[in-house]
Structure 1
Amino acid sequence: MPVLNEQPRTHQSFGKALLFCACLLTLIFLYGYGHGRWKPLEDRAVSWWAVAGTSSPLKGVMDNKRVLVRHDTSWSDENTQATSAVGFNMTSELRRLNPRIFSALPKAFLSDYKNPCWFEKAKETGLDPQGRARVSFRLRCLPYFYIIGMQKCGTTDLYYRITQHPDVVRACAKEPKFWTTYGHRQLGKYLDCFGDAASIIRKRIRKQLTSSGQEAANHYVITGEANPTTIFYNDNWRGKLWDTPNNEPPILLADLIRAVQPDAKFILTLRNPTEMLYSDYLYWKGIHVNRSNTDFHARTTLTIRIFRQCLKNHSVRSCAYEVETDLPSSGTVRLRRGLYEVYLRDWLSVFPREQILVQRLEDHSKDPNKTMTRVLNFLDLGQY
C-alpha cells in the first residue's frame, strides 16, 4: 500500500518564532501534551453530572429549576461530589430539542450493513397493476467514522489516506459541517452529501457464512467525514441552553451525536500545541498580512494575558469554551484550540474509550505505516 509510505506535509521548522514563544511552554504543561499528567490512552473518571440549585441550563426543562452541571475535575485538587439528576434522560431531552433530526432517523440501522444506513421513503412513482401507489425507497447513510480534530494536525492527510482504502468511500466533502458551523440543521442536505457513498455501499456485497452455516450477504463498505472543529465546537448550544453559574457547558455536541449514533467511531489527531498554534497563525495569510516572528510573539503574549485574566474568575474548562474572540483580526491567536485535555475529557465522559482513537501527528510523521495500521485496525478494515 504505497500511500502509507508517503510522508505527510507538516511544517518542520519555525525559526526564531519558537524562541519568542518560550512562554508557551508553561501552557504545554497545563495541556499535559506528552507529559505524565495527561494520559489520553488511559481510561479514567472524567466529567461528572451533578445537581445544583440554580436556573436551568435546559431552559424550561425542569419545573423545579434544579439543573445539571458538568463538573470540571481536571484542574482542581478539590474532591468534587456529584450525584445523578433523578428523572433526567439526556437522550430523551435531546430528542425533544431536535425533533427534525430524530424524526428522520430509523429506530435501528440495517443489520447487514457495516455502515449505519437505512431505507427512506423517497417518492410515489405512479400506480402498480392493482391500482396501488408505487413507492420508491432510497438508501440513507450516516458516517461510520468521524475525524473530530484538531486543526493543523494533519486531518486532511489522514482523511485522504483512510479513503484510499478500497472499502472506504468519500463523502461529497471532507467537512460537511452539519454538526458544527451549520448548527445541525437541514439533515437532508447532510445525508445527500453521503448519497453517492450510499449507492456504492448498497452495491458492494460480500457473502459470508453465519455461525449456523448459512450464507448471508454483508454490505461491508463504509464512509466518514473529517471536521477538525467537531471536538470543541459547542456554539450552537450557547444562549439557548447554557445558563449556569460557572459558565461551563452542561450539554455538548458529543451528547447529541451519541443520541444519534451511540456506536460511532471517532479519531482525534494532535500535535505539539505550540507548533499547532504557529501553523494556525501562518494559515491566516489573508488577515496576517504582515506576518513575522515579532507579530506572532506579540499576538501570543496578548492572548496568554487575556487567558490568564479569565482564569482569575473561571475554571480552565469555562475559559476553554468561552466565546472565541481570539480571531486573527482581534490581534490575538487561537490559543484555546490547543487545550486538548479539556475537550478530550468531555468526549470521554460521553463515549467509551474504545470508540475514540487518539494519536499524535509527530508519531505519524515518523512512522506513517505504523499509525495507519492502527487506524485501519480501529475501523475494522483489513490491510491493502
Structure 2
Amino acid sequence: MKADFIGIGAQKCASTWVHGVLSDHPEVGVYPGKEIDYFSDYYNRGYQWYERQLSGVDSVRTRGEVSTSYFTDSDTPSRVFLYNPNMRVVLSLRDPIERAYSNHLNEIKLCHLTGQNLEFENGLTNNPMYLEQSYYGKHLARWLAIFPRDQILVIFQEEIRDDPFTQARNLYRFLGVAEDHQSWFLEKKVNESRIIKNAEADHFLKYLGKLGRSIGIGGVVVAVRKNDLVGRLRRNYNQIELRQVIPPMREDTKICLQDILADDMRELAHQLERKDLPWPSWVALCDRSS
C-alpha cells in the first residue's frame, strides 16, 4: 500500500510537531521514527523496502512519513511524483534567519561543531547548509514545478506557536481526516536545543525505558514520557538550554543575512500569494525597503 502524504521539512521548522500531531490521530498512519529519508538517501533500495518501513499502518485513511532531507534535495520532487503523482506534501517553515541559528544550536548539540569558538558566525563559515536550507523560495520552486499547488500545504512554525489548534485542523483537513481530533502533542514544545548535564543519569533513564518495553509495559513507558512533571524534571535538573550558553547572532550578521535572503523571501511570498510572512526578518526587510 502506497504512502499518500509526506512531510518534507524544512529542517528545524516544526516538522516534529507535524509528526507528533499526526502520530496519534486514529485515521492517520505515520512512520513512528520519522526521517526514513527514502527519496533522498535510500532511493536505490526500491519501493518495496520503502513501503515495508510503513508496514503496520495500513488500516487507516491515510499514511505517510516525515523526512526533513526531502525539501532541499534536488532529486526528491521528481522521485516522489514518479512514486505517487497524487502525493500530498506538507512543508513547515519558520523565520529563515532564526532557522539558521537553530540549525547552529543543533549542530553543537550533535557535536558536529566543537571547540572553543561556538559563535554562530563561526558555524556559518564552517557549514554552508546553514544558509542553503533557508532558501525556501528556491527549494519550493522545484516542488511547485512538479506538483499542483493544491497538493502542497505550507504551514508556519510561528502560526503553530500562536494557534496550534487551527494549524492542526488545517493539516487534518488537507489530509482528508477528521478535523476535531485533539492530539496530546498539540501544544508540546519539542526539539529545544539542550545538552545533557549528567550523561550517566540520562543513559540510566533510557535503560529503564528499554527494560520496560522488553517486559511488556511499553504503554507505561510511553505514559511516563508524556507526563509533564517528568518532562519538567528532566529539563530542569539534567539539561541545559543551549541558548543560555551560546552567544546570540550578532546584529550585523542578522542584517547581512536579511539582505542575502531578501529576494528569496519575496519569491516565497509570491509563490504562496501572501502579502506578508509571519517573521521578524520579513518585517525588518519591509521596514528597510519603505
- State the partner residue of 2:168: 372
Shift of 1:233: 1.1
Provide Cα deviations, 1:94-148, integer angstroms capped at 9, x if missing partner: xxxxxxxxxxxxxxxxxxxxxxxxxxxxxxxxxxxxxxxxxxxxxxx22221001
Answering whether residue 83 of structure 2 is matched by residue 287 of structure 1, we say no
- State the partner residue of 2:63: 223
Q: 1:364 to 1:291 in 2, by over 3 A?
A: farther
Of stretches 280-289 and 359-368 in structure 1, the one that deviates more from structure 2 is 280-289
Structure-to-structure mapping, 1:1-384, within 5 angstroms: 141-198=1-58, 200-201=59-60, 221-234=61-74, 252-285=75-108, 286-290=111-115, 295-300=119-124, 302=125, 326=127, 334-382=130-178, 383-384=180-181
1:267 aligned partner, one-letter code: V
| Alignment partners' CA distance in 2, 1:157 and 1:290 | 31
| Alignment partners' CA distance in 2, 1:259 and 1:150 | 22
Structure 1 SS opposite 2:72: coil
The question of whether the paired residues in 1 share the 8 Å contact of 2:39 and 2:79 is answered with no
TM-score by length of 2: 0.57
Q: 1:184 to 1:378 in 2, by over 3 A?
A: farther
TM-score by length of 1: 0.44
Structure 2 SS opposite 1:142: coil
The question of whether the paired residues in 2 share the 8 Å contact of 1:258 and 1:351 is answered with yes
Provide Cα deviations, 1:325-379, integer angstroms capped at 9, x if missing partner: x3xxxxx552100000011111111110000001110011111011111111111
Q: 1:333 to 1:267 in 2, by over 3 A?
A: closer
The question of whether the paired residues in 2 share the 8 Å contact of 1:281 and 1:333 is answered with no
| Alignment partners' CA distance in 2, 1:172 and 1:158 | 12
| Alignment partners' CA distance in 2, 1:351 and 1:182 | 22
Q: Whose helix proportion is higher, 1 or 2?
A: 2
Structure 1 SS opposite 2:39: coil
Higher gyration radius (CA) = 1
The question of whether the paired residues in 2 share the 8 Å contact of 1:282 and 1:291 is answered with no
Runs of 4+ in 1 over 3 A off after TM superposition: 290-293
1:281 aligned partner, one-letter code: H
Shift of 1:253: 2.3
Q: 1:193 to 1:367 in 2, by over 3 A?
A: same
Structure 1 SS opposite 2:69: coil
Shift of 1:289: 2.5
Q: Which runs of 5+ in 2 are unaligned?
A: 182-290
Provide Cα deviations, 1:212-266, integer angstroms capped at 9, x if missing partner: xxxxxxxxx22110001112113xxxxxxxxxxxxxxxxx421222122111100
Shift of 1:151: 0.4
The question of whether the paired residues in 1 share the 8 Å contact of 2:10 and 2:93 is answered with yes
| Alignment partners' CA distance in 1, 2:144 and 2:70 | 14
The question of whether the paired residues in 1 share the 8 Å contact of 2:3 and 2:51 is answered with no
Q: Which runs of 5+ in 1 are unaligned?
A: 1-140, 202-220, 235-251, 304-325, 327-331
Q: 1:275 to 1:232 in 2, by over 3 A?
A: same
Count of matched residue pairs? 178
Aligned-residue sequence identity (percent) comes to: 25
2:122 aligned partner, one-letter code: A
Q: 1:292 to 1:368 in 2, by over 3 A?
A: farther
| Alignment partners' CA distance in 2, 1:355 and 1:277 | 27
Structure 1 SS opposite 2:38: coil
Shift of 1:173: 2.7
Shift of 1:171: 2.1
Q: 1:333 to 1:228 in 2, by over 3 A?
A: closer
Q: 1:157 to 1:232 in 2, by over 3 A?
A: same
Provide Cα deviations, 1:55-91, integer angstroms capped at 9, x if missing partner: xxxxxxxxxxxxxxxxxxxxxxxxxxxxxxxxxxxxx
Shift of 1:172: 4.8
Structure 1 SS opposite 2:45: coil
| Alignment partners' CA distance in 2, 1:350 and 1:356 | 11
Q: 1:150 to 1:178 in 2, by over 3 A?
A: same
